[in-house]
A and B are shown apart, each in its own frame.
Chain A
Amino acid sequence: MNNLRIRWSAFAFVIGLCTVLSSGCVVGDGYGYGGGVDVGVDYYDPVGIDFGGWGPGYRVGPSRGSDRPAGRGGQHAYRAAPASRAMPSIPSHSAPSRSGGSRSR
């Protein structure tokens, strides 16, 4: 009888464990960091959007550091850097060594 009881309890324990784990694997719909925040789908872009259409004068890249602001004047929502200020470029020196640390930029 005791054996049966132990077996029954163990069976129920395993069923409980499996139910929760499998439901978590299937349902998890959040961003994925835990916490159950269901916002992940917003991170996706809508399908069918256009990414191209860049004309010959369309420039997105960084400056080499010798550009000057266009100084078109007028009212802007942002505070423009002074026209006398040279345009900064991206970092030009390489990392001292290639071991350890992120170099995402």
Chain B
Amino acid sequence: MHLQRISNLIDTIAPDKIEPRRMHPDRLRQFIWQGLLAAMLGIAGAAPVMAAPLQLPPLVDPASQEHHVGKVIFVELVTPDIAAAKQFYAGLFGWTFHDIQAGGTEYAEASLDGRPVAGLIHKAVPAGKPRQPAWLTFIAVGDVDAAKKAALQHGAKVLFEPHNVPVRGREAVFADPQGAVFAVLASTSGDPPDVLAAPGEWIWSSLITSDPDTDAAFYQTLFGYEVFDLPADEGAQHLMLASDNYARASVNSLPANKPNAHSHWLNFVRVTDADMMATKAVALGGRVLVAPQVDRHGGKVAVVADPLGAPFGLLEWSDTDNKEVSNGRPLIVKEVSK
């Protein structure tokens, strides 16, 4: 019945109206131009999406006017496998993650108890370029462009030109004169306050370098640090960088017995038991690079790598009575309130 109706309908159409299926050349040309125009519109529509910069959350929320030039205010993991990294750090420190995507970029913000502690950014390792992931250290500055000028004048290389990150601030990435990679950030929401990190948060940073003397001078020029010379073994140099009357980082000679070592920044997460956390890191697929050992503050430090190979430190810090190491012997000292 239905087919019959269709057949009747077709029969009513005159043959001359069915015939001109072949398009006139002018009309065909118009047709192609129209298609091209539509494709161009499609590309134009996609461009803003592609160019949309990644919008990261503010460093401090609500914003403050606090600024601490020279303080390590953020760290970011550059990794080829964000999913594996998330699993590892969630298991080790209890971090939770919030995914942010823009312009084809995969980014995850790590938080602990609702506070941002780190960023994870995906970066594929190009074929034929064997590299391993690393944590990038962001140091607070007031003026990123001035920092770039000073860095270049004193032997640094620019790896990523100064640029604005919406909401976050202005930043740039450099390699210092010995090749250690670090970033500077002028946060638009202010710098995090100077408070003691909770377990699971970043507490300390060390620069391990082939030339502590020159590097200390370089960072002093950029950030106005006070530099303290600490006791060290023969042939080694241990320095401390401070600003706002707080210790910000140590500068240490590269161990002499490691020919493949290279200058790098190393960031430490506060832990309550370095031995236990190192064991846990291994159980989660990581590796121990430096076994837990007692350090100058009386607690243990260790260096581990995540399953993708990014190294970071674990540092025990007690906020009650403190044991400090002097000539290898722990002392009990009273904590000095700031």
Q: Using CB atoms and an 8 Å cutoff, list the residues of chain A in contact with chain B.
A: 5, 8-21, 24-25, 28-29, 31-35, 37, 39-67, 69-72, 76-81, 85, 87-95, 98-105
Contact indicator A95/B193 (Cβ below 8 Å): yes
For residue B103, CB closer than 8 A to chain A, the reply is yes
Judge whether B150 is part of the interface by a CB distance below 8 angstroms: no
- Contact assessment for A91 and B196 in the assembled complex, using a CB-CB cutoff below 8 Å: yes
- Number of A-B residue pairs at CB separation under 8 A: 359
The secondary-structure label for the interface of chain A is loop
Can you give 27 contacting A-B residue pairs, CB < 8 Å? A8-B34, A11-B38, A12-B39, A16-B38, A28-B103, A31-B160, A44-B78, A45-B264, A46-B130, A49-B261, A50-B261, A52-B289, A53-B256, A54-B290, A55-B233, A57-B233, A61-B295, A64-B296, A65-B333, A67-B228, A67-B296, A72-B229, A79-B220, A90-B317, A94-B198, A102-B60, A104-B201
Tell me if A46 and B131 are in contact (CB < 8 A): yes
- C-alpha gap A16/B115 in the complex (Å): 41
Verify A12–B305 contact, CB threshold 8 A: no
A104 touches B202 (CB 8 A): yes
Kindly state the separation between the CA atoms of A72 and B227 in the bound complex, as whole angstroms: 13
Q: Given the interface contacts A63-B247, A67-B296, does A103 sit within 8 Å of B117 by beta carbon?
A: yes
Chain A residues within 8 Å of B311, by CB:
51
Give the residues from 106 to 124 in chain B that come closer than 8 angstroms, CB to CB, to chain A. Answer: 106-107, 112-118, 121-124
Query: In angstroms, how far is the closest chain B Cβ from the Cβ of A3?
Result: 13
Contacts of B73 in A (CB 8 A): 102, 104-105
Q: Is the CB of A104 within 8 A of B39?
A: no
A32 B122 Cβ-Cβ under 8 A: yes
Residue numbers in B under 8 Å from A94 (CB-CB)? 195-196, 198, 319
Q: How far is the CA of A101 from the CA of B181 in the complex (A)?
A: 26
B129-164 residues at the A interface, CB under 8 angstroms:
129-134, 136, 159-161, 163
Name the CB-closest residue of A to B192: A102
Q: Name the contact of A50 in the complex, choosing from B258, B295, B309 (C-beta under 8 A).
A: B258
Q: A60-B206, A60-B266, A61-B299 are in contact. Are A43 and B159 (CB under 8 A)?
A: yes
Whether the Cβ atoms of A60 and B260 lie closer than 8 Å is: no
Q: Is B285 at the interface (CB under 8 A from chain A)?
A: no
Task: Say if the beta carbon of B84 comes within 8 Å of chain A.
Answer: no
